[in-house]
Amino acid sequence: MSEQTFVNDFISIGMTEYFTRKTATTFESHIVECLADIYGYDNLKSAYDSKNEGNFATLLHRYGLSRTTFDNFLRDTIKYESFKEENKKDPSVKSDLASKIESHIITMFLYKCLLIEPSLEEISHFENDLLNNFAMIKHHFNTSLNPNKTRETWEKKKKMLEDSVELIEIKPKYLDAFTYAKYGTSLEEVKKMDYRMVEELNNYIESKEAETPIVAPKRMPNKKGSRLLRDTAISSGNGYVDALLIAGIIATEMSIGLIYLFLHF
């Protein structure tokens, strides 16, 4: 282990890739991303930047994680690096170590939820990072004995979570239908968006309204020889709103793709 290693090779690799290279495309960085979801991005980065392994251990014990689970988590991450080298040499060598490490992550999340009631958004965000990272889905199918093991574990634990805590649903604040229509969308479409997307869209519209109010087209008098202007939605002239809507469509398509993937493999 080099002097630059933080905790162990697995944690060090994951921290470097996630915080320095801003990626979560390797299993190590994927696990660090999930840790950031649980313990907070800034808290985890602070422990890494200080290179204080004691701070890292204290952070992971914050919500009551047992010493045994913590030790097993670190032990399995060390084993994973050895397995990774074996798998590189011989791709037929497979193991459920990745799922075992993710099970530790699920346990950490549950410990937090028992102390701090989670919102539906927080659960959904964690679940998405844990299960819907396409690079990790591919990784599990290529290296795991049971590619669906983490998903199966999460579904069981999630049921326990729903039974033991009162989930708090975050309901977004919507603007009126007329305002959305002026920007080329509808209240019905906005209600299909994620809570965060609605907030971003509302902030964008409100900032534009504050700058220059957009006036809807007036219906021209019905004079002989003239035509009535059709009521049409006005575009903002900016691709941002359209991008939000497209993002919603893409998210839906990704979900459909995941369902297809797990039904056909």
pLDDT tens track for 85-122:
999 999 999 999 999 999 999 999 999 998 888 888 88
Residues 135 and 189 in one domain: no
pLDDT tens track for 149-158:
999 999 888 8
Residues 47 and 159 in one domain: yes
- Determine what percent of the chain falls in helix, strand and coil, rounding each to the nearest 5: 65, 0, 35
Residues 121 and 206 in one domain: no
| Domain end among 140, 164, 188 | 164
Structural domain of residue 251, as residue ranges?
Answer: 177-263
| Domain end among 138, 164, 190 | 164
Q: Is residue 3 part of a domain?
A: no
pTM beyond 0.75, yes or no: no
Q: Is residue 2 part of a domain?
A: no
Residues 113 and 217 in one domain: no
Residues 19 and 52 in one domain: yes
| Domain end among 164, 195, 213 | 164
Share of the chain above pLDDT 90, in %: 43
Residues 114 and 142 in one domain: yes
Transcribe 105-133 into DSSP letters: HHHHHHHHHHHSPPBHHHHHHHHHHHH--
**Tally of structural domains, the chain:** 2
- Cβ neighbour number for residue 99 with a 10 Å cutoff: 19
